[in-house]
Amino acid sequence: MSWGAELWDQFDNLDKHTQWGIDFLERYAKFVKERIEIEQNYAKQLRNLVKKYCPKRSSKDEEPRFTSCLAFFNILNELNDYAGQREVVAEEMGHRVYGELMRYSHDLKTERKMHLQEGRKAQQYLDMCWKQMDNSKKKFERECREAEKAQQSYERLDNDTNATKADVEKAKQQLNLRTHMADENKNEYAAQLQNFNGEQHKHYYIVIPQIYKHLQEMDERRTIKLSECYKGFADSERKVIPIISKCLEGMILAAKSVDERRDSQIVIDSFKSGFEPPGDFPFEDYSQHIYRTVSDGTISTPKQEGMKIDSKTTVGKAKGKLWLFGKKPKGPALEDFSHLPPEQRRKKLQQRIDELNRELQKETDQKDALIKMKDVYEKNPQMGDPGSLQPKLAETMSNMDRLRMEIHKNEAWLSEVEGKVAARGDRRHSSDINHLVTQGRESPEGSYTDDANQEVRGPPQQHAHHNEFDDEFEDDDPLPAIGHCKAIYPFDGHNEGTLAMKEGEILYVIEEDKGDGWTRARRQNGEEGYVPTSYIDVTLEKNSKGAVTYI
């Protein structure tokens, strides 16, 4: 199967076919280029997606802790690696397929041009030989006709009796001349014909087959190159499939690592305040002014007449409108974290102590290294001056002393908060067991109040009448009390609209927490404001409008 033997007369078609082959090669190269751009854009979009959803960590406190969050961030990391593999695919295709195709296409064009030029030259040479042969043939034909005319003229004169001998002799000479020239042209034509036949045979059996053979080999190499590029196109992606599979396996492992129990425990650890739930409220006997019955089997608490609570007798006019707390600025964090609930404070202090211990260990290691280096310098003075290490050593010792003081201070705070939590738990436990406590030392929760000044007593009855009279002339009636609350730890209330309170202080609740973490409360002197819901124990009344009914 040879183009030279089978397609000896199809030079123009072979010219078109080889050009089509190069065009097809370049078309495939364009396809690969567009595929590379798709891979690059895909990888870029994946990286942008990962960057968009990756956490922006400004501090350690904002680092994700839930297993579901950690799993999602692991998936993002695996997806980022997956995007990197898409970039590897694009790079491999660009180098191994597209770049190779463009170089080969350039070489192919040059080779094709050379072979076609050789074929055209061979054809032009054969055409030249044919023209020479054709010219000699025409000249021979023309001389033969002239010789035939001279023969006819000589015979006519020779048979003409009136013709002179000179005319006959002249015609004979002309005949001989034409005959001689015809013979010469005949020999020239024969030589040209023989030469043309030889060149034609050489052209169609040697030169053209050789040129067509080169064109055929060139076209077959082009086909082979396309086959190799097809394979390389697939191999570029097949090489990264194991890594992509690992990325996908990593995503599956991340999904399996989600632990709902652990996340629930993290929520508990994050928001646990450390306080015990409020105990039962004691029964308060308001019928003492009717009769007084004392029985060992009856649970009763003597109560002064002034302990009757009425919102109209205890509240005054609100001092202006309170600021809404949707965007309330947070107060500055205290060094000992006393602004936090006990459990959260304990966790923060423990974290700080751990960090300080790690810093102290680093400083200790640095001190040991400096001491060793100083010993080496003292034994080998040529290596360095031992005195040059003294400032650094002194600085390290100072840092160690500072860190030890910090650790001691934070450990003292930690011991304090752990002691308070334990004491509060003991008090809560004892209040659950025994509700009979001294009347002047009992809080509305039934828990023991350390400070006698914090006892709650109602205002005198005559003062209540005076307030009722004043309230009739108020422009804006104050909100009725819907319950009461007890401060479980102090609150400064420096911000506008807040209400400062002391630990153990009893306040009236006039507006429940709306979900923003703040409860509106009022003192007995009429001062109102918002207090943190997590800082108080709240008890709401059931059906009364103004007075608080203790349950």
Residue 150 contacts residue 174 (beta carbons within 8 Å): yes
Q: What is the pLDDT of residue 75?
A: 94
| CA 257 – CA 279 distance, rounded (Å) | 40
CB within 8 A of 493, min separation 6: which ones?
Answer: 499, 500, 501, 529, 531
Q: What is the pLDDT of residue 87?
A: 94
Q: What is the pLDDT of residue 116?
A: 93
- Token pair for 318: 């609100």
Q: How is the chain split among helix, strand and coil, in percent rounded to 5? A: 65, 5, 30
| pLDDT average per 10 residues of sequence, the chain (551 residues) | 85 92 95 95 95 75 76 93 94 92 94 92 91 91 89 85 83 88 90 91 90 92 93 92 94 93 86 75 74 46 41 38 40 69 79 90 90 84 81 88 88 80 54 41 37 37 39 55 88 83 90 84 88 87 46 34
| CA 349 – CA 337 distance, rounded (Å) | 8
Q: Taken in order 285, 291, 294, 295, is the CA torsion positive or negative?
A: negative
Q: Token pair 């400070």 is at which residue? A: 451
Phi, psi angles (nearest 5°) of residue 384: 165, 170
The SS3 of residue 21 is helix
Neighbours of 438 (CB within 10 A): 9
> How many C-alpha atoms does 538 have within 13 Å on its Cβ side?
23
The pTM (predicted TM-score) of the whole model is 0.52
Residue 235 is classified by DSSP as H
The SS3 of residue 460 is coil
CB within 8 A of 158, min separation 6: which ones?
Answer: 168, 171, 172
Phi, psi angles (nearest 5°) of residue 510: -115, -10
* Amino acid, res. 102: M
Q: What is the pLDDT of residue 49?
A: 95
The SS3 of residue 498 is strand
For the CA atoms of 294, 300, 301, 307, the dihedral, rounded to the nearest 10 degrees, stands at -110
- Helix (H) / strand (E) element for 374: namely helix 342-379
* Amino acid, res. 80: N
Residue 448 is classified by DSSP as B
Q: What is the pLDDT of residue 456?
A: 36
Residue 511 burial (C-beta neighbours within 10 Å; 0-12, 13-18, 19+): middle
Helix residue ranges, H only, 54-98: 67-92
Nearest of 107, 116, 117, 127 to residue 17 by alpha carbon: 116
Q: What is the pLDDT of residue 56?
A: 76
DSSP structure string for 381-406: GGG--GGGGHHHHHHHHHHHHHHHHH
Q: What is the pLDDT of residue 452?
A: 37
Q: What is the pLDDT of residue 76?
A: 93
Q: Token pair 């001056």 is at which residue? A: 385
Q: What is the pLDDT of residue 438?
A: 37
Residue 279 contacts residue 446 (beta carbons within 8 Å): yes
- Helix (H) / strand (E) element for 185: namely helix 165-202
| CA 223 – CA 316 distance, rounded (Å) | 99
* Amino acid, res. 545: K
Residue 228 burial (C-beta neighbours within 10 Å; 0-12, 13-18, 19+): middle
> How many C-alpha atoms does 436 have within 13 Å on its Cβ side?
6
Burial call 244-271: b when 16+ CB within 10 Å, e when fewer: beebeebbeebeeeeeeeebeeeeeeee
| CA 505 – CA 487 distance, rounded (Å) | 5
